[in-house]
Amino acid sequence: MSLPTRKIGNDSVTAIGFGLMGMSAFYGPIDSDEERFKVLNVALEAGCTNWDSANIYGDSEELLGRWFKKSGKRNDIFLATKFGFTPSGANNTPEYIKSCCDESLKKLGIETIDLTGKIRNIGLSEVSGATLRRAYAVHPIAAVQIEYSPFCLDMEQDRVGLLSACNELGVTIVAYSPLGRGLLTGKYLTASRVSVQNTTPQRVKFASPGSLRKVKTLSPFRYLKENLHSVEVKLTPEEITEIRKAAEKADELHIERYPLQMMREVFADTIATRKDLDKEGSINSASGLTNGLPMVSYQKSNDDIPNDDRRKNIPTDLTENLVALSIKLPPGDISRIRKLVIAINPTFIGQHDVSAIGFGLMGLSAYYGPIDNDEERFKVCNGSMRHSLLTLSLTDHMKVLDAALEAGCTNWDSSDIYGDSEELLGKWFKRTGKRDQIFLATKFGSTPEGPNGKPEYVRSAIESSLKKLGVDTIDLYYIHRIDQTVPIEVTIRALAELVKEGKIRYLGLSEMSAATLRRAHAVHPISAIQIEYSPFFLDIENEKVGLLETCRELGIAVVAYSPLGRGMLTGAYKSHDDIPDGEWRKTIPKFSRENFPNILKLVAGFQDVGKNHGATAGQVALAWLLAQGDDIIPIPGTKKIKYLKENLGAADVRLSPEEIARIRNLAETVNTAVGGLERYPVGEMVHLLADTPEL
């Protein structure tokens, strides 16, 4: 019998695997090594080479280690094992991961595990759809292990979202207990037939009245050879439908599949990264308040939480909470708490939390008018400017980069073609010692001769950037423009080597096609893409382009550059003549004299909406982008603290659904009106949304 195969990662595995738990734990007495070796030998001879163990399955790993040593057949087996389940609960701390892997390798007597929480492929078990997506954004998840059978259909539920997430991300589903822990074989006709040493009766689902009666009519498969022969059984569509109906009928009471105390570890979520909230204490100290009171009072100043939101029903100290009704927070304190709220609800790139609005550094060093000297760029006259988001104590001469950091904007974006931008950052890091407080992104690949993605250039570019920046590691390294002469896989492999060397944390792409993004992501996780995106540049949303859809499918952050239409959406430019002569923006077709009325029409709409919020046109444009999803990260740039504060203030502008829809209608109308006018000079359009040759 030849077993069909499936893919886990890049490995082909048998379509039916062998779950080893019952040989060493939980289901009745344990046999001798000799008896258990016979079963392992039969599995191998039958062609079943996809084996699954865990460090909590009794002596399962040691048994496999002894069998590998005796048989010498380690290389014939695709070996999966698991960690993280302890007597005191789930443990996924980094130090525990390392100790578990080392211990399992020792017990198994091998050097590599094929599928575990580490090594060749990574898998998760009993995870929520949301947590799977977050994990996949950091590193590809090859497989999810979940209880799945005609009697346990939980993973199919829409509210769980796991089956849909696996299908979208291309994650293989490994179904454990596919025979309902033996109950679907027909062997057990009553609960009394189950061994007293078997844990199955503890499962609420199997102990409930009528459960066994409901499932006993399903076709029985017995023992290893019977199980493997199931691949030869070809059910008709009618039989599949009949079993589906029977399964759904059997599951209609939705009785739990684990003891109740264990259900909290099923479809589990993890917390997001949280920042220290001790800073909040300074608000409380003046009035002797607890930390909870300002937050309750702050919520009172917003209508963001719906009345039916469960967070409004969390019981705490009622008397203390009621005191919040009498607290009147001054605007300054509301702004400071808003900043903390932003800090504890971060946007993620990879597994790193970043400020939801970043700082694009291009304009500080290139393209937009004359460039100031270092002193002027470090020190920018501030005067007495204030903004509701930021209550900073600023001197007349304030450093724009310091202002960004103090405002909580720690997501900075540079490139090796932005004039002396990287050198400027290097000088700032050296002067301040604040490198560790910045999530630093930079880019490579754009050269005077055109995009370059050759491996040798990749290495020379990173070494040059590291030297100019004066750092050891770049947090996010983008391919600035795609080399259309080099397969993307070749460039990504070169970058992946730099990740292994610790010179890069996360990889990004800019202005690539959806197809190229998928190919790149298949080689190494892509954590972010950078694309021009604003109400005036909606290319990413085009269904034919498919880029926004692909990013969301793969869990990739979208970093929106030029979110203010290169300044045109702020209202600062009243006509084409306001763009300085000789400046690059004057060559962009969409900014032409003929099209400028459309720009002004958009700006007028933003200004009208802004009246409801005390916000500028630019803030409304940024707030609209933020409203498109938590995965959208705008990175406006500026040379002035005045505009830096204004841009960051967009995080405080909460547009209503009607306002969001109004801006979208206006944006789509204007974008339709401009027709084929391009967002770059014609000669540069060839480098946008680019593909590469096949490998």
Catalytic residues, which ones? 418
Total Cβ atoms within 10 A of residue 49: 20
Who contacts 584 (Cβ-Cβ below 8 Å, separation ≥6)? 367, 368
Please tell me whether residue 557 adopts helix, strand or coil conformation.
Answer: strand
Paired tokens of 171? 């994650």
Nearest alpha carbon to residue 569 among 589, 548, 588, 591: 591
Q: How far apart are CA 11 and CA 119, in angstroms?
A: 14
Cα Rg, the chain, nearest whole Å: 29
- How far apart, in Å, are the Cα atoms of 4 and each of 1, 15, 228, 267? 10, 5, 10, 29
Q: How far apart are CA 380 and CA 400, in angstroms?
A: 6
Residue 147, beta-bridge partner list: 176
CB 468 within 8 A of CB 434: no
Q: How far is CA 673 from the centre of its chain?
A: 35
The whole-angstrom separation of Cα 655 and Cα 667 is 15
CA distances 73 to 41, 64, 526, Å, are 10, 10, 36
Q: How far apart are CA 73 and CA 54, in angstroms?
A: 19
Residue 50: name the closest of 82, 3, 85 by CA: 3
Structure tokens at 446: 């754009």
The answer to whether 169 and 143 have CB atoms below 8 angstroms apart is: no
Spatial distance between the Cα atoms of 642 and 640, rounded to a whole number of angstroms: 5
Residues facing 412 on adjacent strands: 359, 440
State the angle between helix axes of 129-138 and 162-169 in degrees (0 to 180), rounded to the nearest 10.
30
**Which residues on neighbouring strands pair with residue 89, listed in sequence order?**
86
Give the ranges where 510-584 is alpha helix by DSSP (H): 514-523, 547-554
Beta bridge partner(s), residue 8: 11
Q: What angle do CA 228, 69, 28 make, to 5 degrees?
A: 50
Q: Give the E-state strand segments of 245-366 in sequence order.
A: 347-349, 352-354, 359-360
DSSP string, 358-407: -EE-HHHHSSSSPPPPHHHHH-EE-TT---SS------SEE-HHHHHHHT
Position 346, amino acid: P
